[in-house]
Amino acid sequence: MSNLFGFDGGDTWLHHLSGATKMLAFVGISIIAMASYDLRFTAAIMVMSLILFYQAKIKWSQVSLVVKIITAFSLLNLITVYLFSPEYGVQLYGTRHLLFGSGYLTVTSEQLFYELNLLSKYIVTVPLALIFLITTNPSEFAASLNKIHLSYKVSYSVALALRYIPDIQNVYHQISLSQQARGYELSKKAKFSQRLKGSAQILMPLIFSSLDRIDTVSQAMELRRFGRKKHRTWYMDHPFAWQDWLTLAGTAAIILIGAWLFKVNGGRFYNPFR
Amino acid sequence: MAKNKQSSNELFSVRTVVAIGIGTAIIFILKRWVSIPTGFPNTNIDTSYGFLGFMSVLFGPVAGFIMGFLGHALNDFTQYGTPWWTWVFTTGLVGGVIGLFWKRLDVSKGDFGKKKLIGYNVVSGLTNLIAWAAIAPTLDVLVYSEPANKVYIQGLISAVSNIISGAVIGSILLAAYAASRTRSGSLKKED
Amino acid sequence: MSKPAIIFDHVTYQYDSQAEPTLHDINLTINQGEKVLIIGPSGSGKSTLGNLINGLIPHAIPGKITGQVTVMGQDVENSSLFDLSLHVGTVLQDPDSQFVGLTAAEDIAFAMENDATPQAEMKTRVRQWATTLGIKDQLGQSPQALSGGQKQRTAMAGVLVDEGDVLLFDEPLAALDPATGKQSIELIDDLHRRLGITVVIIEHRLEEVLAQPVDRVIVMQDGRIIANETPEALLKTPLLREIGLREPLYLEALDLAGIDFNDTTGITSVNTIEAPNLKQKLSDWLTGEPAHQKPAGLKPLLAIKDLTFGYPKGPKLFDHFDLTINRGDMLALVGENGVGKTTLSQLITGFVKPDAGTMTFAGADLATQSVKERADQIGYIMQDPNQMISKIKIFDEVALGLTLRGVDEATIKAKVEDALKICGLYPFRNWPISALSFGQKKRVTIASILTLSPQLLILDEPTAGQDWRHYTAMMRFLEKLNRDSGITMLLITHDMHLMLEYATRTVVLGHSGILLDAEPAKVLTEPAIIKQARLAETSLYTLAKRMDMDPFAFTAAVIAHERQERHV
Ligand SMILES: Nc1ncnc2c1ncn2[C@@H]1O[C@H](COP(=O)(O)OP(=O)(O)OP(=O)(O)O)[C@@H](O)[C@H]1O
Ligand SMILES: Nc1ncnc2c1ncn2[C@@H]1O[C@H](COP(=O)(O)OP(=O)(O)OP(=O)(O)O)[C@@H](O)[C@H]1O
Ligand SMILES: [Mg+2]
Ligand SMILES: [Mg+2]
């Protein structure tokens, strides 16, 4: 894996959007979806993000693994919530429609509805996140962060993080290989406990070589004048186009609708039981 | 005489920028691949908290906050599709608060004696405790409206495991780092 | 005309961690528009001197300076790194550490980005320099997917884009194939002449640098400047030899033929050198030399069949590739930058997995063996020392393999100390590796594999960045291992003379498989292959041609002579 973002240079309008636009849209939508407990609203967002997902022409094989992990994680969380507070929905919505069960483990419509809301929150932005990961060029992304007035030093840290995740994974791999080449068995042929110990052994050199690297890389950057001026330009910069403005306007509209629903519902919760 | 112009003491030097980048990458990788099962179901000692404590002491509060925030956000984002913003923010906070003590806990000269060891563990322990047992779950209730008993128990378990990670791994790293600093004037060719 | 660009005035420098100064009382003036070469044994302080010019010392690496360094009128100690970097462009020695961009293109553009150059201009300039340096196709690649030589060229491009007053190159040639090395030196010379910039080159490969005119050569030893002369004057003295540096090869031949260098003219190039009766003396000497026969291995040790491999998304590097390495071979693997030499060694050691094909080692199928099991028989020294080093202290690093094999401590100590002595590192054994020069680091990795006595030893560019004394000591030891203990060697190298002198067999790797598999000297008789694989003929060969002698026999005779001298 040489590219964390799984970036795949395609040619849809989503690929051409600026990284910052996509990030702002993602953050905006994920925050309003996080705040809202109106299933109609989150479901609508879900439908929209699936349509976008389709438009980005992403192949199922590119995302199947992460979708499976997310499903498992969401189910686990829903079950935990139920086990801890089977009547939490009743408490929130103020009515009680018992479906079945008795004693502690009861199942009510309110609880089911509440958990459905939770589920929609867990997954509503997933297609958007995947779109972001697959259609955003990491370098362009860093450049675009700077354009939305994040300080260029912070933007560059983000760029460096993205640059070094695959690199350090690689270093981890290299150190592991070179340890094995010196006689440390870490392949499937070793016992599990030995492999565990082995990976711990790799961490130290990994961390310490990274500290050295911080020094040499910052020296190399200073030699090429990073930090000298108040501004810098970006090789991978990409001008904002009307699609960007339109996307941002759309995002703002969604946020406004979400906020308006707060008012209509008299709070964060949409309550169908009353 | 040369003035020591090493920029390591500034809050946001070029070195800090690089440290944030590389530190974030390592946090990401630790979160992803290196967790030690505690024996409790579904709980891991997340080694990244030890590393975060260590890096915050080395590079200060700004670096600590951004590293924690970004590392956690990137991991959530690529693993679950949604950053769990409350916990992401709390991780940043942990890095930032431990980082506030970087001048006092300075190990770059190679001394990490008993006093600093205790100092670090107190700072890291308290920060992690307050962050995970109180701040993160409270934010969860406020923002996500999750059941309180669930999130506080989750918080408590994380608090315990992160305190352990912060203490054990952080101390080991700090001690090793201090030991690796060659004292000035100590290198001589030997026959 | 001769305004000074760089002035060292009684400069002594001591790294914070060192007990003694690394540079002693340096006095040096380099004028604007001059081109200066700095040579000296590994660890003599060349990179340290370079870092005083670009300001990394003292601004990023702490230490104690006395005296004053002035660069383009600025006092280095009291001006910022930024101001200095506008005047001095540096290509650092360690190719990996200087990459910051996500792709080669961004890395080249980095300085321009920081100067807030408009994007369109950056794009044209990046394209232009990438074309000049032959890395146009790699622009979109991430730095870790570049071969050693491609990395070095990217780094060069990144500095050349911003056309400072002084260009400082710390071993620009170490990882380049001979033809590219020659081109780079021509390129540097062209820049020097066209732009009138001051050029400082630190390099072990003296002969290659002297292929283009150099104003002065500065020789360092133990942190002092021991000579500061024109190349002509320097080459006429025996100084280089005395301090363990290699003279140009053609001079060695002249020396063998008993020619006094003081009688020569045009000594700096094999194409211009003249001496009274030169031709006569050389051919007299040649007839006096007996012909030499080299032994060759017979029983196969490693058989590679039908190997197919390409990195994901990359082109196929190997397509139904076959190669058999015989027991006792001292095999040199040569070929252009990026052709897949390192990749081949990583396929053999199991670092990367082939797409198809079989590899059989001593009768056993390698595919079923883990990296560790392969390593019990195959020692591998990687091209980039930083990728191998995992301990803080030198001794621990060299001992690592033995410790992991559970060898007892007394044996470890004895073996490690032996290996350290062979590699000239014994005095430093208790130092942290971070306090070593680049060449010293590389030797640490060699020492750490020498302790393991494998059946096959793969050395990826063992002599890059080494001075002649250490190079010879190591190569002799390897040769002895090969001769006495029958250890098979696979040497990956860009050094033609190393190949001729030490290898018993040469494999030339090309883009479509093996171009030639023969006795080393045979390579030189095939101009088409030399061209295709971007190799170069040695100056011995050129000299013989110029003198109308049989170049093949002449080269063989000089090398045979050197070998004999070694074995007595
Ligand atoms: N960061 C450092 N801290 C302490 N000592 C150092 C440091 N860097 C180099 N040295 C020491 O200074 C001496 C000179 O090193 P330098 O890198 O200048 O050598 P060099 O001539 O460039 O060698 P090479 O040809 O191998 O690159 C070496 O003995 C080395 O141990
Ligand atoms: N990890 C990698 N991922 C993708 N491509 C790679 C990777 N490593 C190397 N390559 C590519 O494979 C080709 C062969 O690289 P390799 O390092 O084997 O070359 P080499 O013959 O050793 O060159 P050099 O003499 O410059 O060291 C190069 O074009 C390089 O860009
Ligand atoms: Mg050097
Ligand atoms: Mg290579």
Which CATH number applies to B2-180?
1.10.1760.20
Distance from CA of B97 to the nearest CA of C (A): 28
> Where residue B189 falls among pLDDT bands split at 50, 70, 90?
confident
The span from the CA of C78 to the CA of C466, in Å, is 34
Question: What whole-number distance in Å separates Cα of residue C288 and Cα of residue C276?
Answer: 20
Per-residue confidence band for A76, with pLDDT thresholds at 50, 70 and 90? confident
Phi-psi label, residue C222: left if phi above 0, alpha if psi -120 to 50, beta otherwise: left
DSSP state of C171: S
Same domain, A118 and A20: yes
Surrounding residues of ion ligand 4, Cβ less than 5 A: C 148, 342, 383
Whether residues A70 and A18 fall in one domain: yes
| CB-nearest partner of B180 from C16, C430, C432 | C432
**Domain housing A212:** 145-223
pLDDT, residue B8, reads 47
**Banded model confidence at residue B9, pLDDT cuts 50, 70, 90:** low
Distance CA(C372)–CA(C379), nearest Å, equals: 10
Chain C touched by A100 (CB under 8 Å): no
* pLDDT tens track for B57-76: 999 999 999 999 999 998 88
Does one domain contain both A132 and A179? Answer: no
User: Where residue A260 falls among pLDDT bands split at 50, 70, 90?
Assistant: very high
Q: How many domains does chain A have?
A: 2
Chain A segment 117-176 residues within 8 A of B by beta carbon are: 118, 121-127, 129-130, 133, 153-154, 156-161, 163-165, 167-169, 172
Do you find a cis peptide bond into C58, omega within 30 degrees of 0?
yes
B178 touches chain A (CB under 8 A): no
Q: Could you tell me where the DSSP H helices lie in chain B?
A: 14-33, 48-59, 61-80, 85-99, 114-129, 136-139, 148-180
Q: Which of A127, A165, A217 has its CB closest to that of B18? A: A217
Mean pLDDT, chain B, whole residue set = 86
Q: Which of C371, C382, C457 to mutate to test the interface with A (most CBs of A within 10 A)?
A: C371
Average pLDDT over residues B97-115: 90
- DSSP symbol at B39: S
B21 C-alpha to ligand 2 centroid (Å): 26
Q: What is the pLDDT of residue C69?
A: 94
User: Closest-CA residue in chain C for A211?
Assistant: C434
Q: What is the pLDDT of residue C413?
A: 94
Nearest to A139 among C60, C106, C380 (CB): C106
Say what the pLDDT of residue B39 is.
Answer: 55
What was the pLDDT predicted at C566? 64
Q: Is the dihedral of CA A181, A186, A188, A194 positive or negative?
A: positive
* Per-residue model confidence as pLDDT tens digits over C119-135: 999 999 999 999 988 88
- Tens of pLDDT, residues B151-183: 898 899 889 989 999 999 999 999 988 887 777
Residue closest via CA to ligand 1's atom 4 equals C435
In our burial notation (b when 16+ CB lie closer than 10 A, e otherwise), range B138-174 reads bbbeebbbbbeebbbebbebbbbbbbbbbbebbbebb
Beta-bridge partner residues of C28: C8
The answer to whether A130 and A66 have CB atoms below 8 angstroms apart is yes
Angle (CA) C391 C395 C400, round 5°: 55
Residue A13 phi/psi, 5° resolution?
-65, -25
Q: Looking at the structure, tell me whether residues A50 and A155 fall in a common domain.
A: no
**Total beta-carbon pairs less than 8 A apart between chain A and chain B:** 140
So what's the pLDDT on residue A62? 75
For the segment A65-93, the average pLDDT, to the nearest whole number, is 86
Would you call C381 helix, strand, or coil by DSSP? strand
Q: With contacts defined as CB-CB under 8 Å, which chain B residues touch A159? A: 21
Same domain, A44 and A67: yes
In tens, the pLDDT along C471-499 reads 888 888 888 888 888 889 999 999 888 89
Q: Which atom of ligand 1 is nearest to the CA of C49?
A: 18
In this prediction, residue A170 carries a pLDDT of 81
**A273 part of a folded domain:** no
Closest CB from C58, C426, C435 relative to B5: C58
Whether B22 sits inside 8 A of A164 (CB atoms) is: yes
**Is residue C15 within 6 Å of ligand 1 at its C-beta?**
yes
Is there a single domain that holds both residue A151 and residue A259? no
- Is residue A117 located within the same domain as residue A149? no
Instruction: Tell me the pLDDT tens digit for each residue of C504-521.
Output: 899 999 998 999 999 888
Maximum distance among all Cα pairs of chain C, rounded to whole angstroms? 69
pLDDT digits (tens, 9 = 90+) for A30-62: 888 888 889 999 999 999 988 998 888 877 877
pLDDT at A256 over 90: yes
Please tell me whether residues A219 and A246 are part of one structural domain. Answer: no
**pLDDT tens, position by position, for chain C (568 residues)?**
578 999 999 999 999 888 899 999 999 999 999 999 999 998 899 999 999 999 998 888 889 999 999 999 999 999 888 888 889 988 887 767 678 888 899 999 999 999 999 999 999 999 999 998 888 988 988 877 887 778 888 888 888 887 788 999 998 888 788 888 888 888 889 888 888 889 999 998 899 999 899 999 999 999 999 999 999 999 999 899 888 888 898 998 898 888 888 888 889 888 888 888 888 888 888 877 665 555 555 789 999 999 999 998 788 999 999 999 999 899 999 999 889 999 999 999 999 999 999 999 999 999 999 998 999 899 999 888 887 887 888 999 999 889 888 889 999 999 999 999 988 899 999 888 888 888 888 889 989 998 888 899 999 988 888 888 888 888 888 888 888 888 899 999 998 888 988 998 999 999 989 999 998 888 888 889 999 999 988 888 889 888 888 888 888 888 888 877 765 4
pLDDT in tens, A181-238: 887 787 777 777 777 777 777 888 888 888 888 988 888 898 889 988 888 999 988 8
- Bridge partners, residue C505, by sequence: C331
- At A1, is the pLDDT very low, low, confident or very high (cuts 50, 70, 90)? very low
For ion ligand 3, residues whose CB falls within 5 Å:
C 47, 93, 437-438
Nearest residue by C-alpha to atom 13 in ligand 2: C338
Pocket perturbation via mutation, ligand 2, pick of C137, C309, C337, C342 by most ligand atoms within 8 A of CB: C342
Residues A124 and A168 in one domain: no
Residues present in chain A in total: 274
Are A128 and A49 in a shared domain? yes
- Tokens read off for C441: 């680091």
Predicted pLDDT of residue A3? 46
Touching partners of B (3+ C-beta pairs < 8 Å)? A, C
In this structure, the answer to whether residues A58 and A193 fall within a common structural domain is no
Residue B7: list chain C partners with CB under 8 A.
60
B142 at A interface, C-beta within 8 A: no
Q: How far is CA B159 from CA B13, B56, B125, B133, in A?
A: 32, 18, 9, 6
Residue A25 lies in a domain: yes
What pLDDT shows up at residue B4?
Answer: 38
Query: Does residue A40 lie in a domain region?
Result: yes
- Give me the residues of A, 17-46, that contact B with CB < 8 A: 30-31, 34-35, 37
Q: Would you call C427 and B189 a contact, using CB atoms and an 8 Å cutoff?
A: yes
E-strand ranges in C238-389 read 300-310, 316-326, 330-334, 356-361, 364-365, 378-381
Return the pLDDT at A72: 84
DSSP conformation class of C509 = E
Contacts of C123 in chain A (CB under 8 A): 235
Global pTM reads 0.84
Are A30 and A101 contained in the same domain? yes
Residue A94 in domain: yes
CA C48–ligand 1 middle distance (angstroms): 6
**pLDDT above 90: residue B21:** yes
C partners (3+ CB pairs within 8 A) are A, B
User: Is the pLDDT confidence value at A6 over 80?
Assistant: no
Q: Count the Cβ atoms, other than its own, within 10 Å of residue B58.
A: 23
Cβ B135 vs Cβ B93: under 8 Å: yes
